[in-house]
Amino acid sequence: MAQVKVDCKQREGTGKGVARKIRAQGRIPGVLYGRNEEPVLLSLDEKNMAGLMKEHGLNLIIELEVEGGETHTCMLADYQRDVFQRYLTHIDFKRVKLDEKVTAKVPVRMTGEADVRTRGGIAQLYLRELNIRAFPADIPKSYTLDISKMKPGQNKRLNELDFEKEVELLHDPNKRIVNILAPRGLMGAGLETEGEGEDGDNAEPAAAE
């Protein structure tokens, strides 16, 4: 996981009027909380924060330097964007300790779809994110799911994923993460998806990215 420094200022006041004034300066309102300490109201540069999130993803360790105050080790807890223009409008930070494990969501990046299509298969992704527990420094930016060698009728379960031993996966290990659907003609001829009809995979699969 990347570790970055972010400069910010402590702010006073809440509400839409205060937030509008902050955004008019190219900044966004934010808040730091957690570990049974008092919340701290902040403002920070929107473009800088958006750039860091784009480059490093959402799982990054942040050294939050408050002007004239303390430096806090934290991670992103939540954020909001403008519905149309997609710039950041608010951000939440949570305090963390580097020697204590935290939970996080890791996005799944699927590769090898073109190879699957050459075999007539269609990839069906069940989970776009993986819930994990790990020390902050061990949390990956994303998980790459390589399906390039999979064939129609095959599937892959979470217990087949290759994670570092420091990372704990917070899901049923038998849950399927991806299916490779066979062409309709072959399905009728007896080529069925492995494990079809098994319990534990009732959720609607996410569309492949």
Residues 108 and 180 in one domain: yes
DSSP for 7-38 reads EEEE----SHHHHHHHHHTTEEEEEEEETTEE
Output the pLDDT for position 34. Answer: 95
Instruction: Classify residue 205: in a domain, yes or no.
Output: no
32 with 10: CB under 8 angstroms? no
Residues 107 and 148 in one domain: yes
Task: Quote the tokens at residue 105.
Answer: 């969501």
Question: CB count, 10 Å around CB of 201?
Answer: 18
Instruction: Classify residue 128: in a domain, yes or no.
Output: yes
- Rounded Cα–Cα distance for residues 14 and 16 (Å): 7
Look at 42-51, 87-96, 109-118, 159-168 and tell me which has the smallest mean pLDDT.
159-168
pLDDT of 190 over the 90 cut: no
Pairing of strands 3-10, 37-45: antiparallel
Output the pLDDT for position 177. Answer: 97
**Structural domain harbouring 127:** 103-188
72-106 pLDDT per residue, tens: 999 999 999 999 999 999 999 999 999 999 999 99
Residues 29 and 46 in one domain: yes
10-39 pLDDT per residue, tens: 998 888 899 999 999 999 999 999 999 999
Which of 43, 66, 96 corresponds to the end of one domain? 96
Residues 80 and 133 in one domain: no
pLDDT > 90 in the chain, percent? 80
- Rounded Cα–Cα distance for residues 83 and 98 (Å): 34
- 3-class secondary structure for 68-121? CCCEEEEEEEEEEECCCCCCEEEEEEEECCCCCCEEEEEEEEEECHHHHHHCCC
pLDDT of 56 over the 70 cut: yes
| pLDDT mean across residues, the chain | 89
139 with 106: CB under 8 angstroms? yes
CATH code assigned at 92:
2.40.240.10
Which of 48, 70, 96 corresponds to the end of one domain? 96
Instruction: Classify residue 45: in a domain, yes or no.
Output: yes
Nearest to 97 by CA among 184, 35, 29, 147: 35
Which of 70, 96, 122 corresponds to the end of one domain? 96
Number of domains in the chain: 2
